[in-house]
Amino acid sequence: MTLSSNIKYGIFLGTVLSLTACGGGSGSGKSDAENNTNDSAESIKQPDDYPNDSVIMTTLGLNLPEETIRLAELVSQQIQGQSVPLDQSILCINGGNIKWTLQDNDHNQIVSIGDKLVGNFNECSIVNSILRGTVQVDVIAPSSNKPQSIAFSTQSNLQEYNSYNKAWYDLSGGFKAEKTVDAARIQLNLTVDETGFSIQTLTAKKPEKLLNTTIHKTTDLVAGRYTLSINGKVESTILGDMIQISTPTPFEGFLNTYPDKGSLNFKTTMLSSNITANLLTNNASANYTFALNAKKEMTSPELVPWANLINGFMFDNLDETNLINKKMFDYQSNEFSHSLAVTRINGLELLLDDGKYQVNNAQPVITLQFSRPIDTKNLPTIILKQQGIYTDETVALNVRVKGAQLILTPETPLKAGEYNLSIDRDFYDVTGFYHSGFDPISITVPKTLTLSSASSVGAAKTGATVNLTGKATSTFGDAISYKWTQLDGPRVGLQNSETANATFQMPIISVDTAILKFKVTATNRAGFTESSEVSIFGYSNEQNLIALDYISDEGDYIGQGKTAAFAGKNIIRVNSSAQAISFSVDQANDWWTLDLQKAGGGLLKVGQYKNAVRYPFNTNVNGISFSGSGRGCNTLTGSFKVYDVAYDTAGQLLRLSADFTQYCEGGKPALNGRVRYHSAVNF
């Protein structure tokens, strides 16, 4: 009897386990009562039983280690890099959810040594099955001071619904895991002790138990290869025997493909079998042989599809944080289509379930991980663009190849926002085969560190003490360091420059008005940074002060979400009359115009001017317009407030202190500005 006629028993673990409800691997189909009345007859295996038992032995020997690997990866992503929020329900693809709760024993608000995690699975779809129940995790090696290297132990009390045989079964017991990740390698070591890690159908009396087993998996990201070895045993209720598992030669393969080298041996009291990777004939299948131990003669090799034996997760190397839609590939020399597997940021996988990538650093090293080493000749052009509301901004990249990795370093820090990474033509691997038609990769740079304020007085007179204040918050809830530096203007001596609050004394200003620019940089524990600039107007005499600045909200068309400041009589000019006041700014390639008019015209007075519309189309209502550098509003609304104003007898403006706000085209983003002309009132 050939394996192909019995392979129906080997289609994934759930189907094999369903045999426990049918009297075991003999396939007799008798009831429990019938079996109990003829135990001696049932204990004698018939020739047709051995192929069935061999398939069951092989499938259990593969699937129990695979279930262990899958659960270890699921747990490790919660600790390593803390990829999902704790104490929040995470929605699964099928509408179920997972909630991870942290028992923070050292009260440092991060997952670290001595802490416990409890994962509650509520009908959550994970890799062709649904999980419900809990997993308890004890962190036995720190992740806080060395986040790329972790160790933990687990105890599970889960039920899994297998989508192939439509049955629930229990996952119980635990294992110890050690995982190390760096830019070139991922190392996973699993140990199951004599207590065991068990799988059991809900109708079975006893489980199938993996015990005294070690699993070693190494992913060489530079070479684009993995190795996997398994040594241990399965205590099988189905077979009524112990299955010994050993790796004569570790499995090897290109990333995200079935292995092309290596083998696994399985042995019980009566039987032996072997699964050997097959490259030359058909990589989608393995060579399968079995024998009666008494005869010691293996059957002729038979091709068995890997997909009929396992889900394939044990050979999956990438995409560890996206456990929903796993895909394995057959190795074919002319296939490179699955090569772009994951984006790695500083050595950590950060692929989100929706297919977007997250970058947590202002200036990351973005590594595109391919499934095979890349041919360095004729590399295509790689373009990174930040998506803007009106235009996209291209970010210059330094590109280098390192084996199966394409390493991209932005030449300038990335701002928070959405980016698209595109590849303009074919990529080749070292064997000469290529992949074309890459879809753009979406990358998100989130605000893991937010500089919520960077403020100071708007202007200061010579001799005055100026306070610079920065305040940042980190999503990690950790300590933040600050550093203030001066970018422009008359030099000053900054005091307490490495704290949130720096000070300096305004120096003598030799011109009518000077602009002093400062930058504060905040850094959290993980090394993420955020910076903000502050401009301060300096003057020696209020009568000489001439200044205009604005702050534009993100999405504002006129200011483009930027901040700018201008000062001095050579930059800012005024044209006033009894009807309106107009300021013009001309500095290098920056030019702007500000118009202010009260309803019906006439001299301005101190007070609030609300419900303004675009000047000069503001008949009988207040008028305002701020435009320039080729941008203006067709329609706008706004307001301005006058704090100080004076005219001469001819109606010419002598001084003005006013703030203004403008909304373009009925939008919500605002442009807020200030103008000071020979007046420092409310500055």
Written in H, E and C, the secondary structure of 263-326 is EEEEECCCEEEEEEECCCCCCCEEEEEEEECCCCCCCCCEEEEHHHCCCCHHHCCCCCCCCCCC
Same domain as 190, residue 75 = yes
d(CA 683, CA 673): 12
Domain membership of residue 125 (yes or no) is: no
CB 312 within 8 A of CB 318: no
Cα 367 to Cα 571: distance, rounded to the nearest angstrom: 46
Is residue 528 domain-shared with residue 553, that is, in the same domain? no
Same domain flag for 427 and 504: no
**CATH code of the domain covering residue 399:** 2.60.40.1220
Q: Is residue 105 part of a domain?
A: no
540, 573, 604 — which closes off a domain? 540
Give the distance, in angstroms, between the CA of residue 18 and the centroid of all CA atoms in the same chain.
38
Burial of 461 (0-12, 13-18, 19+ CB in 10 A): middle
What is the C-alpha separation between 625 and 616, in angstroms, rounded?
A: 8
SS3 461: strand
Shared-domain flag, residues 490 and 556: no
Q: Cα separations (Å) of 539 from 19, 485, 495, 677? A: 88, 21, 21, 12
Q: Which of 315, 75, 64 is nearest to 197 (CA)?
A: 64
579 and 495 fall within a common domain? no
Asked if residue 131 is part of any domain, the answer here is no
pTM of the model as a whole: 0.64
In angstroms, the CA 373 to CA 649 distance is 81
The Cα 172–Cα 65 span in angstroms is: 14
Which burial class, exposed, middle or buried, applies to 62 when counting CB atoms under 10 A from its CB (0-12, 13-18, 19+)? Answer: buried
Domain boundary among 540, 570, 595: 540
Final residue of a structural domain among 386, 411, 444: 444
Distance CA 181, CA 395 (A): 28
Strand partners, 471: 453
Same structural domain, 434 and 468: no
Q: Is residue 281 part of a domain?
A: yes
Max CA pair span of the chain = 123
Residue 564 sits in the same domain as residue 601: yes
User: 397 lies in a domain?
Assistant: yes
In a domain, 455, yes or no: yes
Residue 300 structural domain: 9-29+45-79+145-315
Distances (CA, A) of 267 to 66, 346, 604: 18, 43, 97
pLDDT at 295: 74
Q: Which residue intervals of 562-618 are DSSP H helices?
A: none
Residue 493's CATH number: 2.60.40.10
In a domain, 223, yes or no: yes
Q: Are residues 165 and 50 in the same domain?
A: yes
- What one-letter code names the amino acid at 351? L
463 shares a domain with 435 = no
Per the structure, the count of domains in the chain is 4
Residues 666 and 616 in one domain: yes
360 and 292 in one domain? no
Taking the CB of residue 31, how many other CB atoms lie within 10 A of it? 11
497 within some domain: yes
Residue 235 and residue 153 in one domain: yes
Residues whose CB falls within 8 Å of the CB of residue 593, separated by 6 or more in sequence, listed in order:
582, 583, 584, 585, 625, 626, 627, 628
Q: Which residue has the tokens 């403008």?
A: 662
Helix (H, G, I), strand (E, B) or coil at 598: coil
- Rounded CA-CA distance 509/420 in Å is 46
Mean pLDDT by 10 residues, the chain (683 residues): 42 55 40 38 47 84 89 75 60 78 75 81 77 87 54 86 71 89 83 92 84 95 91 93 96 84 94 87 81 79 84 65 35 40 35 37 63 82 83 88 84 75 78 68 70 72 92 74 94 94 94 93 76 90 92 93 91 90 92 96 96 95 96 96 95 95 95 95 87
Please state, in angstroms and as integers, the Cα–Cα distance from residue 10 to each residue in 59, 66, 230, following that order.
6, 15, 19
Other CB atoms within 10 A of residue 436 CB: 12
- Phi and psi angles of residue 33, each rounded to the nearest 5 degrees, phi first: -65, -45
